[in-house]
Amino acid sequence: MNFEMETVVENKTVNSPDRQYTLECTRNIGIAAHIDAGKTTTTERILFYTGLIHRMGDVDDGNTVTDWMEQERERGITITSAATTCYWTPKEDGCVKLFTGIPHRINVIDTPGHVDFTAEVERSMRVLDGAIAVFCGVGGVQPQSETVWRQATKYRVPRIAFINKMDRVGADFNRVVEEMRKKLDPNIHPIQLPIGKEDDFIGVVDIINQKAIIYDSEDEFGMMFQVTEIPDSLKGEVQDLLTELINAVANKDDEVAELVIEDKPVPPSVLKAAIRRLTCKLEFVPVLCGSAFKKRAVHPLIDAVIDYLPSPLDVPPATGQNPETGDVVEVYSSDNAPFCSLAFKLWTDPYAGKLVFFRVYSGQLKKGDIIYNPRTRKRDRVNRLMIIQADERIDVGKVYAGDIAALVGLKNISTGDTLCDEDYAITLEPPTFPEPVISMAVEPKTKADREKLSEGLQRLAEEDPTFRVYTNEETGQLIIAGMGELHLEIIRDRLFREFNVEASAGAPQIAYRETITKPAEGEGKFIRQSGGRGQYGHAVINVMPNERGHGLKIVNKIVGGIVPKEYIPAIEDGILEAAKSGVYAGYEVIDLIVEIVDGSYHEVDSSELAFKMAGIFALKDAVKKGSPVILEPIMKVELTTPDEYQGDLLGDLNRRRGRITGIEVKDNLVVVNAEVPLAEMFGYATAIRSLSKGRASYSMEPLRFDPVPVNIQNMLLDLAAGKPAART
């Protein structure tokens, strides 16, 4: 059909004549879901059917392509997002497809499901054009499902949904769809229906084409299937679903609405094109189903990626700022535009060295070119370019708009940096990351390990924006902070395997925070006179509580030159330094608005150092007057248990200061939603195994920071003052 060819003609000026796959035939997609929903298995099947691999691996066997780290294969979980590229040409099989016979290139990123590695999902979503959200046919919408959905919405990533594990006992397609509509998005509509369930799941019905796709039960590879008529038992339901689908699309798309108003039939090609338009605009989510493990209905999923998810030309242009003027700049996808890209991930490769993963938004980049980093104002020559196939590195001579690739050998670069032509300086919006919630002290076991430990931690902190390393100034201990116990455990494991460092660790500590509860004024003076030139700095500030989660904001309200403008940055540095080290109990100060309102200076004795010290003293003075409180991280917990253990587990949550927010029943299991302080969740996995004889499970993710109870606050203050304190 002409759908794709017309697009190519319209956009012929955006494609370089020497690129193999045009921008229209490029898809950058991610696969995201709750842990154990089947992301990695789905990715593995996609890679097999597209011909990238010739033997399908399994997570349980530890031989999948995208789970290539030793820690991933040992634990059966995804830790780092893995990029790989495959190719697909939709084939004629009796079902109408928008792009039949046209070769496409698909860049796939398999992301982690565990909340400890949420940064991997966050930075992947920032550079993707589309996503497959995978759901378990039994578990439905789980906590991390909601998290990755919110991340996709935050970065305006169009998505299709794949309800996996339809072969599992208890799988219920309609229940999961209703749950998705209730918890995620009302504009969710099935375009497939399962044929059979659990052990009898044999294929799917294509609602748009009104055809059944039946898989051969004797074929262990899922390659043999027939496109046939719909079974009589399903014809009525499928016809109703088609009518519902057409009406839903007609409510949002003029072309389909016109046909419905005129009482004309809506051809499959017209309906598909309309669903594609709405999906790209985030107004519609098509839902498919299958079983990746049993190799059922993965082919139609790949077709749906091509048919419904956008190319780089179908999404709005990336926006950034001119670093000199602050003007908003739009970056359009085109090979013929100036080069602009975003570095979204850093990785230390044992053979290649530091890899910088980047997404090209416009232009071309080849070996020998000079690229510019507007943040550092530094230039770098491109010595080596690679396309990544999970753990395999393939050297290439040139990359184009829409590509995801890696550079080797760049210095002074951080996650979220823009890399561009120097005469086209622009700063793209970087991904944002959550704050660490847990920390522990680490010590090298030998003197020889000390230097290697420092180097290893520095490299790991460069790679992972949610991992922090700092030294406690009072104790001299080296502290590492991250998103959870598993996160820090993996860090320690990588130190040993990749950097050959033996390190012992203390017990995990909670990343408490401080804030104020009422407005206050603070004054800071730093005056020193020692015979020669002295030091003079004086600053007055107002502080007030900021909204929870909005961080620390500094506003300069100095007028009339009371304090020369060259000293304002020094005051701000002092405020930030004081906030970082804490005022009340030694924890970082957050969610604060600071206004610099007054001060004074000395013509001779004033200096940047003096005003920095004045800023430190002013913040400490203000926070102490602002009725400070200590905040603790609160976790969103979902507990799934057989009914007979519900009472014991609810009692245990109450003892942990948990607040129950909801209880629902799913297929003979009770799902409890609760909010629990992280401080009470250590050892929880062992506790629920004991209380439920190993039959209960749970997941948790960071939710917010809340004030700690008075008795715990007093204990923390005693500890900060060096007094022995027993927990009450």
Give the model's pLDDT for residue 77. Answer: 52
pLDDT tens digits, residue range 545-600? 998 888 899 999 998 889 998 999 999 999 999 998 888 888 889 999 999 999 99
Asked if pLDDT for residue 392 goes beyond 80, the answer is no
Please report the pLDDT score of residue 79 as a whole number.
54
Least confident of 348-362, 519-533, 668-682: 348-362
Question: At 509, is the pLDDT very low, low, confident or very high (cuts 50, 70, 90)?
Answer: confident
Mean pLDDT of 111-126: 75
Domains and CATH numbers, the chain: 3-308 (3.40.50.300), 323-428 (2.40.30.10), 438-511 (3.30.70.870), 514-627 (3.30.230.10), 632-720 (3.30.70.240)
313/80: higher pLDDT: 313
For residues 243 and 15, the model is more confident at 243
Q: How confident is the model at residue 13 (pLDDT cuts 50, 70, 90)?
A: confident
Mean pLDDT of 480-507: 80
In this predicted structure, the answer to whether residue 68 has a pLDDT above a threshold of 70 is no
The single-letter DSSP state of residue 313 is T
Q: Which long-range contacts (CB under 8 A, 24 or more apart) does 347-354 make?
A: 347/80, 347/406, 347/463, 348/459, 348/460, 348/462, 348/463, 348/498, 349/393, 350/498, 352/384, 352/386, 352/393, 352/408, 353/408, 353/409, 354/408, 354/409, 354/410, 354/459, 354/462
What local confidence, expressed as pLDDT, does residue 236 receive?
92
Contact 362, 331 (CB under 8 A): yes
φ/ψ region of 76 (left if φ > 0, alpha if ψ in -120 to 50, else beta) reads left
- pLDDT value for 553: 92
Return the residue matching tokens 């708009």.
401
What whole-number distance in Å separates Cα of residue 66 and Cα of residue 47? 10
- The band of 75, judged by pLDDT with boundaries at 50, 70 and 90, is very low
Stretch 702-708: mean pLDDT: 89
Instruction: Answer with the residue of higher pLDDT: 471 or 113.
Output: 471
Whether residue 27 is predicted with pLDDT greater than 90 in this model: the reply is: yes
Q: pLDDT at position 640, please?
A: 86
Top pLDDT among 430 and 472 is at 430
The two tokens of residue 75 are: 């634990």
How many CB atoms lie under 10 A from the CB of residue 256? 24
Q: What is the mean pLDDT of residues 611-625?
A: 95
Where does the pLDDT of residue 390 fall: very low under 50, low under 70, confident under 90, or very high at 90 and above?
Answer: low
What's residue 485's pLDDT? 78
Q: By the 8 A CB rule, do 315 and 158 touch?
A: yes
Over range 314-318, report the average pLDDT: 92
Predicted pLDDT at 576: 93
CA distance 374 to 421: 10
Examine the pLDDT at 473 and tell me if it is beyond 70.
Answer: no
Residues with Cβ within 8 Å of residue 75, at least 6 apart in sequence: none
Q: Residues with Cβ < 8 Å from 99, sequence gap 6 or more? A: 3, 4, 25, 90, 306, 307
pLDDT average, residue stretch 70-93: 69
> What's residue 97's pLDDT?
92
As a whole number, mean pLDDT of residues 277-284 equals 95
pLDDT (tens digit per residue) in 422-465:
888 899 988 877 777 777 888 888 777 777 888 888 888 888 88
* Average per-residue pLDDT for the chain: 85
Residue 136 clears pLDDT 60, i.e. is over it: yes
Whole-number pLDDT of residue 154: 86
pLDDT digit string, tens, across residues 288-304: 999 998 989 999 999 99
Task: Answer whether residue 60 shows pLDDT above 50.
Answer: no
Confidence class for position 58, pLDDT limits 50, 70, 90: low
Handedness of CA 485, 486, 490, 493 (dihedral sign): positive
Q: Does residue 122 surpass a pLDDT of 80? A: yes
Of 677, 685, 684, 682, whose CA–CA distance to 702 is shortest? 677
Confidence grade of residue 719 (pLDDT, cut at 50, 70, 90): confident
Write down the pTM of the prediction.
0.73
For residue 391, what pLDDT band results from cuts at 50, 70 and 90?
A: low
- Residue 445 vs residue 20, higher pLDDT: 20
The pLDDT of 675-680, averaged and rounded, is 91
Query: Is residue 69 predicted with pLDDT exceeding 60?
Result: no
More confident residue, 719 or 235: 235
Q: What is the DSSP letter of 310?
A: P
